[in-house]
């Protein structure tokens, strides 16, 4: 009698990064001042669907060492996902992230593409908030907030704060996303998109909070350090 034993086949696919994939790797390297590497592979369990993955490894970064890896890894996975073409989003099932700290310890995480698709959609408020501040379009900030969560307008107070920060830290040059946290209150889940405002002489943390509920995509809170 022959004995058939199911097995798991895990292979690395030796292929070059596409132009869009390489662009994401470069972006991540620039944000975190990190060394990046990648691989492509698949897991195939006999009789089950083949799971294809894109894996990124980020290392030698003081910024990453200062952040909780479960939060920075989600942002890294999101940046990779948003860099994919439509075809690449159909090609992969998951994105793997390895973070190697300066002590050579590795933290590994896996993100499914449907989850990243939702996180990408929810990140719109963070991007609008950041871009409007960078471009000094403060009058548009009230349009991206959920009115029920803010009793008063926010545009003027944010403009005043940013002007004070520029007086201390120099001109605001750009911004970058650095981590992504999922929390909750007594009502619902919350996504916190965290970034850095990059000034001429310093970098200041900030965050934008969005309701995790499907269809509720406006900003429900923010915090800018000073």
Mean pLDDT by 10 residues, the chain (226 residues): 42 66 96 96 75 96 98 98 96 97 96 97 98 98 95 96 97 98 85 98 98 95 93
The answer to whether the CB of 192 falls within 8 A of the CB of 174 is no
Listed in sequence order, the residues at least 6 apart from 118 whose beta carbon sits closer than 8 Å to its beta carbon are 214
Structural domains of the chain ordered from first start: 8-118 (3.30.300), 123-224 (3.10.450.590)
Instruction: Give one word for 106, left, alpha or beta, with left for phi > 0 and alpha for psi -120 to 50.
Output: beta
Alpha carbon distance 73, 179 (integer Å):
7
Q: Which two tokens stand for residue 190?
A: 């919350």
Q: Which stretches does DSSP call E strand in the chain? A: 8-13, 35-45, 51-59, 94-100, 106-112, 172-184, 189-199, 203-211, 219-224
pLDDT of residue 15: 60
Alpha carbon distance 113, 125 (integer Å):
20
Alpha carbon distance 64, 152 (integer Å):
36
pLDDT of residue 221: 97
pLDDT of residue 56: 98
pLDDT of residue 18: 85
Question: Scanning the structure block, which residue is given the tokens 């704060």?
Answer: 161
pLDDT of residue 46: 54
pLDDT of residue 78: 98
Q: Which two tokens stand for residue 92?
A: 């992969």
Alpha carbon distance 10, 171 (integer Å):
50
Helix, strand, coil percentages, rounded to 5, for the chain? 40, 35, 25
- Nearest CA to 159 out of 151, 167, 150 is that of 167
The number of angstroms, rounded, from the C-alpha of 8 to the middle of its chain's C-alpha atoms is 31
Entry pTM = 0.90
pLDDT of residue 3: 41
pLDDT of residue 47: 61
Q: What angle do CA 39, 93, 178 make, to 5 degrees?
A: 65
Alpha carbon distance 18, 43 (integer Å):
21
Size of the chain, expressed as the number of residues it contains: 226
In the 8-state DSSP scheme, what is residue 225? Answer: -
């Amino acid at each position: 009698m022959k004995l058939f034993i199911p097995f798991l086949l895990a292979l690395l696919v030796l292929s070059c990064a596409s132009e869009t994939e390489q662009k994401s790797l470069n972006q991540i390297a620039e944000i975190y001042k990190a060394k990046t590497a990648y691989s492509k592979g698949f897991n195939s369990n006999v009789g089950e669907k083949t799971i294809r993955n894109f894996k990124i490894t980020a290392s030698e970064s003081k910024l990453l060492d200062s952040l909780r890896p479960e939060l920075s890894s989600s942002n890294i996975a999101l940046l990779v996902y948003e860099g994919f073409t439509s075809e690449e989003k159909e090609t992969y099932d998951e994105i793997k992230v390895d973070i190697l700290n300066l002590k050579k310890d590795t933290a590994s995480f896996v993100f499914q593409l449907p989850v990243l698709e939702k996180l990408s959609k929810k990140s719109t408020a963070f991007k609008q908030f950041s871009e409007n501040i960078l471009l000094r379009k403060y009058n548009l900030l009230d349009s991206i907030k959920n009115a029920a969560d803010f009793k008063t307008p926010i545009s003027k107070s944010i403009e005043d704060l940013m002007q004070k920060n520029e007086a201390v830290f120099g001109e605001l040059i750009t911004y970058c996303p650095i981590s992504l946290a999922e929390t909750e209150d007594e009502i619902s889940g919350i996504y916190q998109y965290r970034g850095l405002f990059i000034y001429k002489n310093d970098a200041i943390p900030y965050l934008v909070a969005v309701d995790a509920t499907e269809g509720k995509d406006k900003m429900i809170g923010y915090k800018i350090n000073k």
